[in-house]
Every structure is written in C-alpha cells, then in structure tokens.
Amino acid sequence: MIRLVFLGKLGDAVPAGLSEVALPGEVKTLSDLRDWVGRTAPLLGRAIAAAPTRIVLNQTVAHDMSASVRDGDEIAFLPPMSGG
Amino acid sequence: MIVRVAPEAFDPQAETASFVSGRDEPGALASFVGYCRAATEGTEVSELSIDHYPGFTEREIARLAGDIHHRFGCLDLLVIHRVGKIAPGEAIVLVAALAIHRGEAFDAVRILMDYLKTDAPLWKKETGPAGARWIEPRAEDHARRAVAGKEMA
C-alpha cells in the first residue's frame, strides 16, 4: 500500500478511497504516480496540472520525478502555499 | 528557537512575554502578529481555515526560521502559526526575534514573514457569503519574497 496526501485545494478534488491504495503495477516512479492519479481522478489531475505542484516523498521534497515509488511510501501533493 | 503549529487560539502577548522572560542578553525584541480579518477587499469573512501537512509543515518552518536566525545573527526566534479553523479577530501568526540590537530583530521578523507567505506549507481557505475560496499568494507577496531572497543571499 502507499499513502497519498493531497493538501489545500487539491483536498477538495480527492475522490473517496484515494488516501491509501495498493501500489499500481504500472507505477514505478513519481512521474508514473502523477500520471496514474490523473487517469484515476481526472478532476484532481487537472487541479494538480493547473498550478505548480510540489511532491513530497516520505516527508522530503522530491526534486527528481524519476525517483522510485515503493510499497509503504507516503507521497504528498502540495499546491502553491499561502501562510502568514 | 521555538516553532509551533497551533490548532487552538493563542495569546500573542502572553507568548511574547514568556519568550522574553528571564533573559538579560537581548537589547531588542521585534515582533509581528497577523490577525484574521472580518473582511477581505470589502467581502465579509466568516471563517478562515488553514490546512497543513503535520510534521512536514513544522520542519519546513523551522528550516526557514533557522536560515534567517543564522543570517541575521539573532539571539532567538519564536514562530507560532495557527492551523484549523480561525475566527475573525484571532491571531493567525506570531513571529518574534530577540537580538542585541534592533536592526537584526526588525530584519529577521520582516524577512521571516515574507518567506512564510509563499514558502511555508500552509494553505488558507476563506469562507464568506459566496462560499469558500482557497487563497494564493498575491503578486505583492511574490515581489516581497523575491526581495527577501536577495537579502538572504
């Protein structure tokens, strides 16, 4: 299983059952995972593509979308931030 | 350095007093408090809600604060940021800096606030008469962050 976390406005577009999923066979990398999310939940995929979205793998910002995704990983999708 | 993400309301005056208490080294304290407005650009705000990523948010704010702490040679920094539901009039954020002299304290607070607006993993949602909307940094926030980045370089 992998854990998926969608923050901010992305959270509004998450369909039920997408927070914990069995690692899909075709997903080897973060890039594959982003594409898979887009196919599985098109509305969410469009929201991710609409703004610069950072990906955090196991609590560390991912700079390389070819990084491997493994069983047990937690992957978070972060839209533009607005603190302060 | 103290960095706290607060799910409950906090008292900025009491927090600042406790931050300063018992110290005789600093000659300067500068602080900033951001409050939840009852209206944004003429539109009523009934509630503000802030989403965060537990663990990651605290660490990222601590990393930003740590960089600024070192860059300006402050003696200490305090950051408290609310998350969850916030009512108009409540404090959203408190940033305070202790330093030997005022210059470092003012700079640290200003630059940390400029960074928090665009770089802290927090997501604001305002609810008003027309429903809820997610807030994104304004052009002015990005401009201030760009200037702050140059000052940090």
For chain A, percent of residues with pLDDT exceeding 90: 96
For chain B, percent of residues with pLDDT exceeding 70: 100
Query: Nearest-CA distance from B25 to chain A in Å?
Result: 28
Closest in A56, A59, A82 to B123, CB measured = A82
Query: Nearest-CA distance from B92 to chain A in Å?
Result: 7
d(CA B113, CA B65): 10
Flag if A79 and B120 touch (Cβ within 8 Å).
Answer: no
pLDDT digits (tens, 9 = 90+) for B51-88: 999 999 999 999 999 999 999 999 999 999 999 999 99
Task: Give ipTM to 2 decimals.
Answer: 0.93
Q: pLDDT at position A5, please?
A: 98
E-assigned strand segments in chain B: 2-6, 28-35, 39-40, 43-44, 47-52, 76-82, 84-86, 91-99, 122-128, 131-134
Contact residues on chain B for A76, CB-CB shorter than 8 A = 53, 56
Query: Among all residues of chain B, which has the CA nearest to that of A53?
Result: B121
What is the residue whose two structure tokens read 């989403």? B51
pLDDT at position A69 over 90: yes
Flag if A82 and B53 touch (Cβ within 8 Å).
Answer: no
Interface test with chain A among B56, B60, B80, B145, by most A beta carbons within 10 Å: B56
pTM: 0.93
Residue-averaged pLDDT of chain A? 96
d(CA B38, CA B88): 5
Flag if A82 and B136 touch (Cβ within 8 Å).
Answer: yes
* Six-digit token string for B118: 């665009």
